[in-house]
Amino acid sequence: MVTRAEIPHFGLLSGVKVVHNTVSIAGPFAAELYAEYGADVIWIENAKVPCMSRVATGNAWQQDRRNQRNLSIDISLPEGKEIFLKLMEDTDVFISAARGGQYEKMGLGDEVLWERNPRLVIVKISGFGQTGLPDYMNRPSYDPIAQAFGGYMAMNGFPGMPSMPTNPLTADYMSALFAFGTSVAAVMKSRETGRGESIDLAQYEVLMRTQSRYPMDFLEQGIPFVKEGSHSAYFAGYGTYSCLDEKEVYMLYLGAGVLKRGLPFMGIEFGTEKIPSSTNLLYLSSSEGQVLEEKIKAFCQSHTAEEVEKAFLANGVPCSRIMDYNDCLKDPQYVAREVFTQWKKANGEPIRGVNIFPKFKNHPAKIWRGAPNIGMDNEDILTDLGLSEEQIKELYAKGVLTQRDYINNI
């Protein structure tokens, strides 16, 4: 157990307090970014049912709940609700994951929370939003559902084949980034004006917003998106290629500078009548594009992926081996930038995972504790709210609070 006074002061968000009552990925990851950048983050976990991330997502909870404190409480009970409201009084950001109107039904709508803390920033993450048609607001949703409804899944897969979700969990992690960024902006405004904000984040809308030009192409010119699979449907030298060692590379012949060096490497003259010096790309449908494709395939099939990567990079063509985790662990750039790191679980055992990014020069982030067990910080948090030892014991007896070890090893 760590008291609030013992939380180390570090990072860009030291002095910010965040509470989240979320499960799975999106909400917890938004809160995790706060925790890694120095905020005091309290994870409210249902006293009756542990967060599904502890059993359904392998080690994700160990990585995406580090630096957080845990309060396992039933806020549907009167005593739990009152503790929750008291907790809001000095909280900067509250992040929830609930269908439209769920907190209002519990008597915990925005206005109720703002009565306790007018400057509170409230973030509501849901699949379909907090407003609109009731039938949609009440729909259950997870990452692939948001991808399906948000038009994202229809863009992924191979032509003529079933659509597929992008992995891992694009809707969840994109939503987390939007939730984090917008709530930080809202905290800045709240500290300026003393007035909080309520952010309604629908996952399917996040996915629609991050589809580049394609929605506009359809709205303005009626151009439908065409699935591309592992290779551009339009451009030569733009996609995945198999190599001699049965590994793969991805490259892009894109830009006049790339073509100027990369085409002669493949024995194709640049700056001619057919390929003027102003050319930025070659179309697959052109004879020149087909020649480039065949030459790239032949080169890749006679060289290993590492040899292909080095050769094309040496000739100015953006190219990378398609890395698996074994490749990443051995790659010198991964090692040099310490992409993987180690910290301690709640029980003191070491565990390895991905480090904190991006890197900060003047206010570095840090990992100061592992993911907490269920109710690990109950006493500390409630004592800080002014509850006595006897009152806390009574809450345990009533089932408002719970506490137990829960470390899942897959």
Residues annotated as catalytic are 172
Give me the sheet containing 40-45, strands edge to edge.
68-72, 40-45, 17-21, 93-97, 121-126, 197-202
Q: Is 92 exposed, middle or buried, given 0-12, 13-18 or 19+ CB atoms closer than 10 A? A: buried
Closest CA to 182 of 112, 67, 97, 93: 93
CA distance 367 to 60: 15
For the chain, the farthest-separated pair of C-alpha atoms sits apart, in whole angstroms, at 87
CA distance 172 to 184: 18
DSSP string spanning 129-150?
-SSS-HHHHT----HHHHHHHT
Question: What region does 146 belong to: left with phi over 0, alpha with psi -120 to 50, or beta?
Answer: alpha
Q: What is the DSSP letter of 8?
A: P
β-strand 68-72 against 40-45: which pairing, if any?
Answer: parallel
Q: How many residues make up the chain in this entry?
A: 410
